[in-house]
Amino acid sequence: MKDSNPEILSLIFDRPGFMACTLKARLPRRHDKARVRPVKLDNAAFQVTLTGGLAAETTNLDAAAARAAIADYLDTATDAHVMTETGDLHVRLTKKGVELLSRSRPLERPPAADTHDRAKEYPLTRFDSARLLRAIGLSDDHGKILPSMQAKYRQVNEFLRVLDTVVCRGAPVCAPLQLVDVGCGKAYLSFAALAYLQSTRPFPVTLTGIDRRSDIIASCVKTADALALDNASFIAADIAAMGGQTPPLHHSSFQPSSLPAFQPSGEASPRLIVLALHACDDATDEAIAFGIERRADAILVAPCCQHDVQKDLSASAARLRANPSAAILKNGILRERFADILADTFRAQLLRIHGYRTTVLEFVSPDATGRNLMIRAERGARPNLPEALAEYADLKAAWGVLPRLEQRLKSC
């Protein structure tokens, strides 16, 4: 475009009431679409977002830099749409190089709400979380989230949103809640869940973290002490060795023979939610079995790697040649990703068979973590439905895999 460029630039940068502008350009530009909008930042007045290429690019620029960038983009643009508070301008360049202009009737739009410099509403902003964030290493001493922990901060918040959907469903308003984090690691998410729930809910909440590494458990106990938590305990134990026993709510060492038997949830007993986030291989299966054996009200797991299923698929490759989808197994990366999907499908189906309403969801953006799927299961469905059993049997037969979770649940 040439003739209309001065008017477009004037509407964006010189006249009041500019709201947004979308430009489309011809190749060979790396991005064939640009969008510019005003923002209010200390060092920027406009935001330019380029899309239509390999990856989107967003840049915040001052007025001079933004004008230069848009003027350059206009040289190859074939379409421009400028929105202002008083009207729109639309310019299209035909194949013969003729510019076609159209203008809207006069408008009286309200000024665009500026949300760019407003803090995004997160669960961790609903209460005073400064001490928590420092203790778990997500923020500095001034309360600012560390650059290296931005993705972890978003992950924690999105997990809390999912937890919110199950924490009180079908339970008395003031029924106490017990969180058990299986394979807790440093327990970022569990500490955040405990702090969030006890700050925003009217019922008592307790937390138990279990991990086989004693040094990790010592670190969790140190964090709990720093936060002065008397309703959190951490146990160094192998999950599978716990049998049908319930973790105690104290900081003492784990003694299997001394644990009381679990009592199913009810109005007089605490609700139980079992968590397992990024537990590798069969640790996720152990966590699910742990929850099913104790009739947990909800089970939230974000699986990690699935090496056991990959091995089973590799061992069955010759036998699976007749499977119309067997070509997936010929490529290592595809076999690895398919093993993840297959393992999570078996887990979700087994949860349904055991009476859990089960959903597999993307609980955080792939930019935050590649392992961003979560299995959310809530007890209350009818167990052993014939359709669920048949689907599970067909899936096993098709791929020749004996899921680890099925073996673990045979005693349930």
> Which amino acid is residue 407, in one-letter code?
Q
Rounded CA gap, 161 and 290, in Å? 23
- For residue 156, the SS3 value is helix
Q: What is the pLDDT of residue 364?
A: 63
Domains of the chain: 5-103 (no CATH), 123-409 (3.40.50.150)
> Taking phi first (over 0 means left), then psi (-120 to 50 degrees means alpha), and beta for anything else, what does residue 87 get?
left
At 181, list the tokens: 């984090």
To 5 degrees, how large is the angle CA 56–CA 139–CA 121? 60
Burial tier of 294 (Cβ tally within 10 Å: 0-12, 13-18, 19+)? buried
Rounded CA gap, 113 and 131, in Å? 32
Residue with tokens 């859990």: 356
Q: pLDDT per residue over 97-155, tens digit each? A: 899 988 888 877 776 555 454 456 788 988 889 999 999 999 988 888 898 888 888 88
Given a cut of 70, is residue 260 above it in pLDDT?
A: no
Q: pLDDT per residue over 318-370, tens digit each? A: 666 666 667 777 777 887 888 888 889 999 999 999 999 999 988 766 555 55
Q: What is the pLDDT of residue 319?
A: 64
Q: What is the pLDDT of residue 272?
A: 93
- For residue 388, the SS3 value is helix
Q: In what order do the strands lie in the sheet with 205-211?
A: 232-236, 205-211, 177-182, 271-277, 298-302, 373-379, 356-362
Q: What is the pLDDT of residue 282?
A: 77
Full-model pTM: 0.66
Length of the chain: 412
Spatial CA neighbour of 187 closest among 148, 227, 147, 150: 227
At 121, list the tokens: 């509403």
Which comes out higher in pLDDT, residue 205 or 305? 205
Q: pLDDT per residue over 49-69, tens digit each? A: 888 766 678 889 999 999 999
Q: What is the pLDDT of residue 322?
A: 65
290 in Cβ contact with 242 (< 8 Å): yes
Given a cut of 50, is residue 258 above it in pLDDT?
A: no
207 in Cβ contact with 181 (< 8 Å): yes
Mean pLDDT of all residues in 240-245: 61
Q: How confident is the model at residue 27 (pLDDT cuts 50, 70, 90)?
A: low
Which of these ranges, 76-80, 299-303, 323-327, has the smallest mean pLDDT?
Answer: 323-327
> Can you name the residues that pair with 181 across neighbouring β-strands?
209, 275
Spatial CA neighbour of 400 closest among 331, 319, 329, 285: 319
Which of these ranges, 20-34, 208-222, 364-378, has the smallest mean pLDDT?
Answer: 364-378
The Cβ of residue 104 has, within 10 Å, a number of other Cβ atoms equal to 12
Helices (H) and strands (E) counted in the chain, each on its own, are: 11, 14
205 secondary structure, DSSP code:
E
Residues 6 or more apart in contact with residue 51 via CB below 8 angstroms: 31, 33, 34, 35
Q: How confident is the model at residue 171 (pLDDT cuts 50, 70, 90)?
A: low
- For residue 65, the SS3 value is helix
At 96, list the tokens: 């013969």
32 secondary structure, DSSP code:
S
Q: Chain-wide mean pLDDT for the chain? A: 82
40 in Cβ contact with 113 (< 8 Å): no
Q: pLDDT per residue over 200-230, tens digit each? A: 888 899 999 999 899 999 999 999 999 999 8
Q: What is the pLDDT of residue 148?
A: 87
Residues 6 or more apart in contact with residue 139 via CB below 8 angstroms: 130, 133, 145, 146, 149
